[in-house]
Amino acid sequence: MSLTPEIQAAVNCWLTPAYDAQTQASIRQMLAENQHEALTDAFYRSLEFGTGGLRGIMGPGSNRMNRYTLGMATQGLCNYLIQSFPGQEIKVAIAHDSRNNSPEFAQISAGIFSGNGITVYLFDALRPTPELSFAIRELGCQSGCVITASHNPKEYNGYKVYWNDGAQVVAPHDANIITEVNKITSIDDVKFTADNSKIISVGADIDALYFAKAKQLSIDPAAIQRQHDLKIVYTPIHGSGITVVPGLLREFGFTNVSIVEAQATPDGNFPTVQSPNPEEKSAMQPALDQAQTLDADLVLATDPDADRVGMGVKNNAGEWVLLNGNQTAALLTNYLLAARRKTGLAQPNDFIVYTIVTSEILGDIAARHAVKSYQTLTGFKYIAGLIRDLEGQENYIGGGEESYGYLIGDFVRDKDAVSACALIAEMAAVAKDQGRTLYQEMVQMYADYGLYLEDLISLTKKGMRGAEEIQEMMAGLRANPPAAIAGLPVVEIRDYKTGQIHDLRTQTAVATGLESSNVLQFILADGSKISARPSGTEPKIKFYFSVRQPLKSVVDFDLATRLAREKIQGIIADMQLG
C-alpha cells in the first residue's frame, strides 16, 4: 500500500523542527523501509479519550502515545481547567505505573501543568491508579492524571484523566477536553517549560492516609487475628502494586504474605509474561506454582497500575484454579452484604453497582439481602458517576465489573485492586475460620442462587481497516439481528446505542435509562445473555456470554458447570465466533 495524501501531509508535519530529532529520525527510517502500513496506522487519526482515557502504542505519530500527543492532551486539559475554574487556584495530582516511559511522561505532564500556572502534586515514585484517585479528593484537586495502559502489552502506554470527584472524566468534560485539544494547531501551543516552584512531591504521606481509610473497610478483624497466618501468595506482575499491597495486607493483620520475587521488581518490559494481565493464566502461573510449593490458601495478583485483581484458590481436589472476574465480584458482594447484615452494619439505604455485561447474580444477591442494586454502562467511570449522583442520599457498599475491577467503599472513585486484595484476604480468613475454603464458599453461593457461568471472546482488529471491520460487525448485527441462537429464540434486544429495549414477544419497547453506548445485547428464551461491545481502549470487539444453569446441591456443581459450559460453546459455535 502507498500513503494517501492526507497521511503524507500528517507525516510531513512531524518532520518539521517543531518535533525532536529522534522522532524525525524514527519516521524517516520508516519511510526509507517503506513501512507504509505502519505509518498509516500511526497517522490516520489522533488518539481519542475512550472508557479509559488516552491509550495507544508508544512511538511517533498522532495515533501513538508520545510526548507530543501527551503534551497536546495535557495542554487541552489545562485550557479547559482554566476555563472551568476561573479565579481559583487550580491543583492536579499525577501518578504513574511501571511502564516504559511512564516516569518521563509524568514529568512532562507535570511540566505542562505547572507551565500553565497550575499546582501539581507529583508522586515521587510509581503508585497505583486507585491511590491517584484517592489523592485527588484528599488534596482538594480539580483534576489529575495517571500514566498507565493498565493491563495492555508492553508496547502500550496511556493517560487516564480524572475530575475533581476522583473519577475518570465523563460527559460533558471528556468531549470538552477533546474540543480544547483539537483547537491546538501547533505543538508550539504546548507550554512544555516547567515552573518547578509549582510542583510538589508526595508519596509516603498519601500512602498513610490511604491505608487509614482502607483499614476502615474491614468488617471482621477478629477473624483476621485468629487467621493472621493465612498463607497468601501475591504478585504485582512487575507493576505498582508492590508499593502498597503488601503494606496494606500487613495493616489488615496478615503476617504470612509471600511475594513472587521473579515478578516483584517494577519493569515495563514485563519479562516473565506476554501480557501483564491477571485475567490470563500464563501471567498468574508463577504465583500458582509458588502457592503449590507453599501449600498456600490464596493467590492474589494485580496488573501494572493495580486497579485489577486476579485470584486463585484450591478446589475440592486440592488443585489450584483461577476465578474469573464475575466469580470474584459475586463472592465479594455476597461476603460484604452477609457480613454487614450479621454485624449490624447494614443500612436501609445501602446499594451496590455492577455493569450491564457483569453477571446478573450480583443483582440476585443484593435482592436477597434487601439491598438496592444498579446497573451501569461498561467502564468504572459510570459506577463512579452513580456514586457521585447518589452521594448523601444512598450508601454505596461495593461494585464491580467482569473485567476484574472492584471498588469497596467510596473514598476511591475508580476500581481499586489494593483494597480489594485486602478484602479478598479477609473473606478467605473468615471462611477458613469457619472451616471452609473460598472455593467451597463459591460453590455454596451458586447452590443458593443457581449457577451463573460467563465467558468472553475478544476479536482483535488492528489498524484503520480493523476499526472499520468492528463498525461493520456492529452494523450487521443491528441490521440483521438473529431470530434464534443455538436453537433458542431471541426474545429481547437491548440496543444501548439507540437507548431502546425491544421485547420481541410483545413487540414493545422501553428506554434503557442509560446514556448512549455502542453495546448490543441479545436475551434468549432461557435467560441467556449475549453482549457485543467494541472496546473503548483496545482495537477489539468483545462478545460476552452469560448463561444460567439450575443447581440444587453443591454435589451437582461439576455437572452443572459442564452443562453451562456446553451451552456457551453452542452459542459461540452458532454465532461463528469460535
Query: From CA 181, how far away is CA 155, in angstroms rounded?
Result: 24
Task: Sort 212 into a burial class: Cβ within 10 Å, 0-12 / 13-18 / 19+.
Answer: exposed
Helix axes 129-138, 204-215, angle to 10 degrees: 90
Q: In the chain, what is the greatest distance between 2 CA atoms, to the nearest angstrom? A: 71
CA distances from 288 to 242, 254, 293, 319, 567 (A): 18, 19, 9, 10, 29
Please enumerate in sequence order all residues whose Cβ is within 8 A of that of 34, keeping only pairs 6 or more positions apart, or say none. none
Q: Catalytic residue among 46, 114, 133, 150, which?
A: 150
Known active-site residue 535: no
Task: Find the length of the chain.
Answer: 578
Q: Which amino acid is at 55?
A: R
State in Å, rounded, how far the first CA of the chain is from the last one.
30
Distance CA 267, CA 97 (A): 10
Phi and psi at 223, nearest 5°, equal -65, -35
**Coil vs helix vs strand at 544:** strand
Q: Which residues are CB-neighbours of 26 under 8 A, at least 6 positions away? A: 59, 60
What H or E segment, with its residue span, contains residue 561? helix 557-574
Would you state the cell numbers that stand for residue 342, as one nine-digit string? Answer: 450479621
Q: Where are the beta strands (DSSP E) in 294-385?
A: 298-302, 309-314, 320-323, 350-355, 372-376
- Kindly report whether the peptide bond that precedes residue 153 is cis, defined as omega within 30 degrees of 0: no
| 204-215 vs 417-433: helix crossing angle, rounded to 10 | 40
- Integer Cα distance of 289 and 281 in angstroms: 11
CA atoms of 108 and 554, how far apart (whole Å): 55
Bridge pairing between strands 500-503 and 488-495: antiparallel
Contact 278, 302 (CB under 8 A): yes
Tell me the residue ranges of DSSP E strands in 237-345: 257-259, 298-302, 309-314, 320-323
**Catalytic center residues:** 150
